[in-house]
Amino acid sequence: QAVFTKPASTRRLAVANQKGGVGKTTTAVNVAAAMAQGGLQVLVIDMDPQGNASTALGVNHTSGVPSVYDVIEGRNTIAEVMQPCPDYDNLDVVPASIDLSGADLELADMPNRNNLLREKLDEFLAQSDKHYDYVFVDCPPSLGLLVINAMCAVNEMLIPIQAEYYALEGLGQLINTIGLVQQNFNPALLVSTMLVTMYDKRTLLSQQVYAEVKNHYPSIVLDTTIPRTVKVSEAPSFFQSVIKYDPRGKGALAYCEAALEINNRSNVVLETIDMRRNEN
């Protein structure tokens, strides 16, 4: 059984990549569940109107249910909308529903539009009876205001990278956006973690993608890779993480390993990507 250690203070990570289908939600949900299973207190904030993280963690997120939309629009606190994940006492979820789909436009005119989530999260973490070890924000596949809000509310970016031919395409743009947020709004923001997902160890392509990403970002890329498995893709249809659904399977074990690796980096000086050095 893996041994997780509590970080000195709450670590907040946004799971982001403007490409869809690279494993953001799967990563957010399963790293969070692995940590919860390991005894840590975890909060997952679903920032994607699709609500896939809410589905996979088994919380109600039908239209009209109080959600992150009401939080960022100031109608509710995080404490009021969050729901416990039915599988783990120590995993709470702020759901997202389709109601969030207009938010990018609605927020555009608000004076403090970049920091709406940050203010609510700071307030929640300061007032909560529980001490949270980790907060994960699952981002939609864009670089819009919802993602900027996520980047302003955390200090670490976790970037899943799918092991495929186009893996690095768009990464420069993502890093540039993170650099801009760091310069203008959130100086504490770091790219701490990249995780290669849907890795197939039998293919040369997977190996090449891993080597290339590792070569570009040696201290950021986790040693652990996530294999492509049927169980990982099936778990959400049972409203479960793969950690719960297939605890001894390859997918669950890989996500536990990735979660441990992230946890073990707590005290390491996490590396900043300097956007001026980014050659795209």
**For residue 69, what are the CA distances in angstroms to 61, 93, 117, 138, 240?**
11, 13, 10, 14, 23
Please tell me whether residue 249 adopts helix, strand or coil conformation: coil
Q: What angle do CA 6, 51, 60 make, to 5 degrees?
A: 85
**For residue 97, what are the CA distances in angstroms to 59, 101, 141?**
11, 8, 15
CB nearer to ligand ADP: give 37 or 197. 197
| 25 part of the interface to Mg ion, by CB under 5 A | yes
CB nearer to ligand ADP: give 198 or 256. 198
| 198 part of the interface to ligand ADP, by CB under 6 A | yes
The one-letter amino acid code at 180 reads: L
Write the DSSP string, 140-165.
PSSSSHHHHHHHHH-SEEEEEEESST
CB nearer to ligand ADP: give 21 or 74. 21
Dist. CA 256–CA 216, nearest whole Å: 25
Q: Residue 47: name the closest of 171, 141, 177, 111 by CA.
A: 141
The binder of 20, among ligand ADP, Mg ion, none, by C-beta within 5 to 8 A per type, is: ligand ADP
| 240 part of the interface to ligand ADP, by CB under 6 A | no
Residue list 63-82, contact with ligand ADP (CB under 6 A) = none
User: Chain-centre distance of CA 158, in angstroms?
Assistant: 6
The binder of 192, among Mg ion, ligand ADP, none, by C-beta within 5 to 8 A per type, is: none
Q: Residue 230: name the closest of 248, 244, 247, 251 by CA.
A: 251
Rule CB under 6 A: choose which of 214, 216, 228, 250 binds ligand ADP. 228
The binder of 65, among ligand ADP, Mg ion, none, by C-beta within 5 to 8 A per type, is: none
| 51 part of the interface to ligand ADP, by CB under 6 A | no
How many helices and strands, by DSSP H and E, does the chain display? 12, 8
The binder of 93, among ligand ADP, Mg ion, none, by C-beta within 5 to 8 A per type, is: none
Shortest Å, Cβ 18 to Mg ion: 11
The binder of 74, among ligand ADP, Mg ion, none, by C-beta within 5 to 8 A per type, is: none
Residue list 50-79, contact with Mg ion (CB under 5 A) = 52
Shortest Å, Cβ 119 to ligand ADP: 26
Rule CB under 6 A: choose which of 11, 13, 23, 146 binds ligand ADP. 23
Strand partners, 46: 138
Which residue in this structure is represented by tokens 């039908």?
62
Shortest Å, Cβ 172 to Mg ion: 21
| 24 part of the interface to Mg ion, by CB under 5 A | yes
The binder of 187, among Mg ion, ligand ADP, none, by C-beta within 5 to 8 A per type, is: none
Beta carbons of 234 and 245 less than 8 angstroms apart? yes
CB nearer to Mg ion: give 24 or 265. 24
CB nearer to ligand ADP: give 26 or 192. 26
Dist. CA 81–CA 96, nearest whole Å: 10
Interface residues toward ligand ADP, by CB under 6 A: 20-26, 52, 141, 197-198, 226, 228-229, 232-233, 251
Interface residues toward Mg ion, by CB under 5 A: 24-25, 52
